[in-house]
Amino acid sequence: MSVRAGQLRHRVTIEKYVKGGRDDDGFELPSQWIEHGKLWAKVTPLSSKDLLSAQAEQSEVTARMMVRYNTEIDTTMRVIWKGRTFAIDSEGLDDNEDGMTYTTFNLSSGIENHKD
C-alpha cells in the first residue's frame, strides 16, 4: 500500500514531556509538555467493531496515526489532534512494502503517559 500525500491530511502536534530541573539561580523549574514538532499524518479513529475488540483485549487504543517513516517518535510522547490529546501506545509499526515508507502508531485517549 503506497501512501499518497493527500492521505496525510491531518496536521498533528507531537509533544514530549520534559522534567523540571533547576535554573541558574537554583530555583526549581516545572515539568511540562513541549512541542517536539508538527507533521502531516493520517489519523483514523477505530471503528465500533475495532473498539469492541480492543476493549476485549484490555487495550485502551482508540485511534491509529500513520506518518511518513519516522524513528524519532516514541511512547513517551503524545499527540495533539483536533484539540484532543492522545498517548502513543505502541512503538512505530513499519509498512509492509520496504519498511521505510510510513510508520503507524496506536493511540489512546484520556491517558497521561508520563511519570514524575
d(Cα 33, Cα 48) in Å, to the nearest integer?
31
Residue with the bigger pLDDT between 100 and 1: it is 100
- The number of domains in the chain is 1
Q: Give the CATH number for residue 55.
A: 2.40.10.270
CA atoms within 13 A on the CB side of 73: 31
| pLDDT (tens digit per residue) in 51-68 | 555 554 555 778 999 999
Q: Is residue 115 part of a domain?
A: no
Predicted confidence at residue 54, as pLDDT, reads 53
In a domain, 89, yes or no: yes
Structural domain of residue 25, as residue ranges? 9-109
Q: What is the pTM of this model?
A: 0.77
pLDDT band at 5 (very low <50, low <70, confident <90, very high): low
Strand 10-18 to 32-45 pairing: antiparallel
- Of 48, 113, 54, the closest CA to residue 85 belongs to 113
49 confidence band (pLDDT: 50, 70, 90): low
User: For residue 36, what is its C-alpha cell?
Assistant: 517536539
The reply to whether 38 falls in a domain is yes
